[in-house]
Amino acid sequence: MKKLLTLENRNSIVTINLEGGAYTDFHLKENPLNPISWEQEETSQSSFRGHFLCFDRWGPPSEGEQKNGFKHHGEVNDLVWELLKKPEKSKNNIEVRMRCELPMGRLQLTRDIHLSEDQSLIKVTEKIKNLNKFGKIFNIVQHVTLAPPFLNSNTLFDNNTEKGFENKEDGTLNQEEPILYWPDVTHDNQKISLRQFQNEWPRVSSFKFRNEDKLGWTTACNTEYNLMLGYVWKTQDYPWVNYWRSMNNGTPLAFGIEFGTTGLHEPLPIVAKKSRIFGSNIFDFIDANEEINKSFIAFLATIPSDYQGVKEIILNNSELIIIEKSDVLRNIVFKI
């Protein structure tokens, strides 16, 4: 079932499916390629598609939770979101508001989306409210899932992380060893660049940012299609970015760019026991009746066929500046 909501400006289109709340399309009018066209084919799980939400957990439920009906990545993707405000123009944006409420987790999420009137840029704020009479730990992860043809073995991935690790997904409490440093790593005596998806390993990897970095970002560039997709956020909101790889016989099928509050892909009891990795929390806590706001920016940009990838992203009060990994000055600038 699809209940599609579309936002459109002068140069781009964004589509959200209210059945699950996922962003299923984000493309430029001059370039109809949709990077997030992926859909989950496994019918035994929730209907994962495009840029979906993992909430109030990232990963599998515990054994007891599973018996009570909890699913992988939480309840949110099985819910029909309530449309609180239809798309309308306000100042320099097109705005919409929607809400969901977890029946078992008793967390409410209100999402405000602002699509720039004349740029391929969206700003999203999500307000989380605890409807329980007690505080609880939770996680929220933005699961951006890329699909072919935007995704291939030459798509370039960049970020500003400090260090990370391979998620072993085996329930152990020391998965952060050995430490990985983006982008060049070694596995089974083989040198691997994580900037491109040319190897199945690591299936899931997680990276944190330097303590002094207030801004986190990640980008994916396909020079064949002259297209970049990027995300920017405050590290106090989302201190982790995770990457999931799905490949069949050497061909990339899906690639998850998953920024959020955790870097440990395990049930919450294990996450609670571990508590921190590299000095960073791997869960959030929300008190009874408390409200927490988190936000991010997503953008699409046209790039030349010889683009080298992203070196740095700067966000100030008026501009978002994307700096290339090149001696040639070819900055991409969005007005904020």
62 assigned to some structural domain? yes
Domain presence at residue 288: yes
Residue 335 is assigned to a structural domain of this protein: no
Range of the domain at 11: 4-308
**CATH of residue 286:** 2.70.98.10
In a domain, 189, yes or no: yes
Asked if residue 13 is part of any domain, the answer here is yes
Residue partners of 247: CB distance under 8 A and separation at least 6 = 197, 200, 253
Q: How would you label 124-158 residue by residue, b for 16+ Cβ within 10 Å and e otherwise?
A: bebbbbbeeeeebbbbbbbbbbbbeebbbeebbbb
Q: How many domains does the chain have?
A: 1
Asked whether residue 324 is assigned to any structural domain, the reply reads no
Do the domain assignments include residue 201?
yes
Residue type, 249: N
The tens-digit pLDDT sequence of the chain (336 residues) is: 569 999 999 999 999 999 999 999 999 999 999 999 999 866 667 779 999 999 999 999 999 998 998 888 999 999 999 999 999 998 899 999 999 999 999 999 999 999 999 999 999 999 999 999 999 999 999 999 999 999 999 999 999 999 999 999 999 999 999 999 999 999 999 999 999 999 999 999 999 999 999 999 999 999 999 999 999 999 999 999 999 999 999 999 999 999 999 999 999 999 999 999 999 999 999 999 999 999 999 999 999 999 999 999 999 999 999 999 999 899 999 999
Let me know how long the chain is: 336
Terminal-residue alpha carbon distance, the chain = 35
Q: Is residue 321 part of a domain?
A: no
